[in-house]
Every structure is written in C-alpha cells, then in structure tokens.
C-alpha cells in the first residue's frame, strides 16, 4: 500500500479562507474586525518565527494582529499587568502568549490570566476542563488541526481505535479528548508505555506527538491506518523531521501527513478560526461553523 498524503497546505488554505469569509461577515454585519493579541517575551529564534507566521496569517485572513515583543527581562508582574490590560480591552478578541517563556516566569500563572473567552489557544484550565467535560470550548489548535485532517481524509473517527502517542497538555491529552468526543475508542501512550509498537499496531488512527524523529516506523503501523504526524524535530541536516518515519509508514498506512507541510500549517490555520470565533461570540453571530463546539465544524 502507498499512503495518500493529507496535504496540510491545501487544507490550511481552505480553513483560512473560511476564517477570511467569517471576518467579512463580522465586519459587514456587526462592524467588528477580529483582533488577536500576541505576547512574545524574549528573543527565542523559533518563537520569533512562529509569531511572524501568526502575523502573516492574520493579515491574510483580514484579522487585526497586535504583537507585543517584550524584552527577556520582563518580570512576571509586568507581563500579568499587560495581560490584564488586554483582558479588559473590548477591541481584543483573542490573546495568545507565545511559549516557552523565560525561566523566571511561571507559565501557568500567565496562562491562567487569560480570560476563557479570549483563550484562542485553548490552554487555560477552564478551556481544558470544558473540553474534558464535552462542553463548547476553544480547542487547542494542534489537536483541532489533527481532527480536521482526519475528517478531510474522509475518515470518521466514530468506532475507530485511535492511539495517541504523547500526553502533553497542549497536544496529546486534548487530541485524545477530541477523539473521544468524536466517539473513537482512545488509547494514550507515553514514555512509560511498555511495548509501544504493539499498542500502535492496534490503531486505526495513530497520532504521534512526541518530539522524537522517526520514532514510529512502518512495522508499528496497522495496514490501512491513518497516521497523523505532529512531531517537529530539527535534524542534524538542518531539516525538519516528524515523529513518523515517512518512508516506511507510508508503505503501510492508508493516509499520512507530511512534515513539513502537515499539522504545523493546520495549527496556524485553526488559530485564525478560533480568533474569528472569539469575535463572533461577542455578537451572537452564527458563522455557520463552530470551533467552540468542535464535534462538527
Ligand atoms: P512534550 O515534550 O510536552 O510531550 C512529549 C510526550 O511524548 C510526553 O507525553 C512523553 O511522555 C511522550 N514520550 C516521550 N518519549 C516517548 C517515547 N519514547 N515513547 C512514547 N511516548 C514518549 O511535547 P509536545 O509539546 O506535546 O510536542 C510533541 C511534538 O510535537 C514536538 O516535536 C513538538 O515540536 C511538536 N509540536 C508540533 C506542533 C505542530 O503544530 N505541528 C504543535 C505542538 C507541538
């Protein structure tokens, strides 16, 4: 078998077009331009690239973006004060704090200061709790993008066995909860899982979110499985590699996502949709899709 590639570039463009149309609706019918505020502390090169990408995506969708580039010495109190201003600002609909933060700032304290209605990353405990309980919420963008890719492949998660490798709060756990919402039977694997290969081989849908290049090889994949590669690993060759060994796995899987050109682009696109949704929620405007109720969108 030679797996079909789920093209993140094409899908991300579709999602961004959906966001751009929603922006037009909000502007024309409600006089609102969705606005995303991004806080970047310090000069981590990868974070700077990610934030520039978000600015570009906002511009492409007609979303206003405000990026606050703060020096690495910014104190936690200063950052919290800035967040309080943005929380109170009615013209700002989404707030995102770019992670990682410098060591002297506690990420949880900062994330907790984002009001749930502006939590377009879906990282606050309130959003996580709502996702856990199956309530409308902002879903973290990476898992939301993964589900979108599975749906785009024409695969319905309902009744399937989904295996998620990785249990982080921003990818693995919310991906598992989202699959559960879609009525999959879900297994979560992690660094202490014995015989990872045997568990992976039982997966109809396999999501790899670990951060270890090439961890998932073809012999770990059930023939015909859908394989979603979240991993982003910079190789010694300077190139980006996923957690999935593309060559051996694509010989076994039915669908596979590439790295680069896969989940990463979807993550960015889903942020646009979450931001539009945050603005729409203030108007009661029905955009015809719902990220906050992510079973179908
Ligand atoms: P993390 O380090 O927070 O979590 C990694 C998880 O992998 C942990 O739960 C750990 O238990 C598990 N793990 C580690 N070694 C393992 C092993 N040998 N077998 C099974 N499980 C193992 O990482 P994260 O933030 O969830 O990110 C995971 C990867 O996804 C990274 O490569 C990251 O760069 C990438 N990522 C990509 C996107 C995107 O948009 N594509 C977004 C977020 C993260």
Structure confidence by residue, pLDDT tens digits, 98-110: 999 999 999 999 9
Q: CATH assignment of 141-263?
A: 3.40.50.720
3-class SS of residue 2:
coil
Using CB atoms within 10 Å of the CB of residue 178, give its burial: 0 to 12 exposed, 13 to 18 middle, 19+ buried. Answer: buried
30-117 against 141-263: fold identical = yes
- Residue of 98, 118, 204, 277 marked catalytic: 98
Q: Whose CA is nearest to atom 42 of ligand 1?
A: 142
Structure confidence by residue, pLDDT tens digits, 31-75: 999 999 999 999 999 999 999 999 999 999 999 999 999 999 999
pLDDT for residue 296? 37
> Is 246:217 a contact under the CB 8 Å cutoff?
no
Bridge partners of 164, per DSSP, are 188, 207
Domain 30-117 grouped into CATH 3.40.50.10860: yes
Structure confidence by residue, pLDDT tens digits, 159-196: 999 999 999 999 999 999 999 999 999 999 999 999 99
Structure confidence by residue, pLDDT tens digits, 268-282: 999 999 999 999 998
pLDDT for residue 283? 84
pLDDT for residue 285? 74
Q: Name the region of 192 (left: φ>0; alpha: ψ -120 to 50; beta: rest).
A: alpha
Alpha-carbon distance of 263 to 265, in angstroms, equals 5
Long-range CB contacts for residues 84-87, cutoff 8 Å, separation at least 24: 84/113, 86/37, 86/39, 86/118, 87/113, 87/114, 87/115, 87/118
Alpha-carbon distance of 215 to 207, in angstroms, equals 12
For this structure, is 121 an active site residue?
yes
Best residue among 210, 234, 241, 259 to mutate for probing ligand 1's pocket (most ligand atoms within 8 Å of CB) is: 210
pLDDT for residue 289? 60
Distance 210 CA to ligand 1 centre (A): 3
- Residue of 16, 57, 118, 121 marked catalytic: 121
pLDDT for residue 288? 64
Q: Whose CA is nearest to atom 31 of ligand 1?
A: 211
Bridge partners of 70, per DSSP, are 41
Q: Is the CB of 196 under 6 A from ligand 1?
A: yes
Reply yes or no on whether the pLDDT at 290 is more than 70: no
Q: Is the CB of 23 under 6 A from ligand 1?
A: no
Asked if omega into 231 is within 30° of 0 (cis), the reply is no
Q: Is the CB of 234 under 6 A from ligand 1?
A: no
Reply yes or no on whether the pLDDT at 12 is more than 50: yes
What are the φ and ψ backbone dihedral angles of 245, each rounded to 5 degrees? -75, 100
Kindly tell me the sign of the dihedral angle through the C-alpha atoms of 264, 269, 274, 275.
positive
Q: Is the CB of 264 under 6 A from ligand 1?
A: yes
For this structure, is 17 an active site residue?
no
Sheet holding 4-5, edge to edge: 4-5, 255-256, 226-229, 205-208, 161-165, 185-189
Distance 234 CA to ligand 1 centre (A): 13
Break the chain into its structural domains and give their ranges: 30-117, 141-263
What are the φ and ψ backbone dihedral angles of 124, each rounded to 5 degrees? -75, 155
What are the φ and ψ backbone dihedral angles of 22, each rounded to 5 degrees? -65, -35
Q: How many CA atoms lie within 13 A of 251 on its CB side?
A: 8
């Amino acid at each position: 078998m030679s797996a079909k590639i789920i093209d993140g570039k094409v899908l991300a463009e579709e999602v961004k077009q959906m966001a751009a149309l929603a922006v037009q609706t909000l502007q024309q019918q409600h006089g609102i331009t969705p606005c995303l505020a991004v806080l970047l502390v310090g000069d981590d090169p990868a974070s700077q690239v990610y934030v520039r990408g978000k600015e570009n995506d906002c511009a492409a969708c007609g979303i206003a973006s405000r990026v606050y580039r703060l020096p690495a010495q910014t104190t936690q109190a200063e950052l919290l004060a800035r967040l309080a201003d943005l929380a109170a600002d009615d013209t700002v609909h989404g707030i995102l704090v770019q992670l990682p933060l410098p060591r002297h700032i506690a990420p949880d304290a900062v994330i907790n200061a984002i009001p749930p209605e502006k939590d377009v990353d879906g990282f606050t405990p309130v959003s996580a709790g709502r996702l856990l309980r199956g309530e409308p919420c902002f879903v973290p963008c990476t898992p939301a993008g993964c589900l979108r890719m599975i749906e785009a492949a024409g695969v319905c998660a309902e009744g399937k066995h989904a295996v998620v490798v990785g249990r982080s709060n921003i990818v693995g756990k919310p991906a598992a909860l989202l699959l559960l919402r879609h009525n999959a039977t879900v297994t979560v694997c992690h660094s202490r899982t014995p015989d990872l290969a045997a568990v992976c081989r039982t997966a109809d849908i396999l999501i790899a979110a670990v951060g270890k290049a090439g961890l998932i090889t073809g012999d770990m994949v059930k023939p015909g499985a859908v394989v979603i590669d979240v991993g982003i690993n910079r190789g010694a060759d300077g190139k980006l590699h996923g957690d999935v060994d593309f060559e051996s796995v694509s010989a076994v899987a039915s669908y596979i996502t590439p790295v680069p050109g896969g989940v990463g682009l979807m993550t960015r696109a889903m942020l646009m949709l979450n931001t539009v949704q945050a603005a729409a929620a203030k108007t009661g405007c029905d955009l015809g899709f719902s990220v906050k109720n992510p079973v179908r969108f």
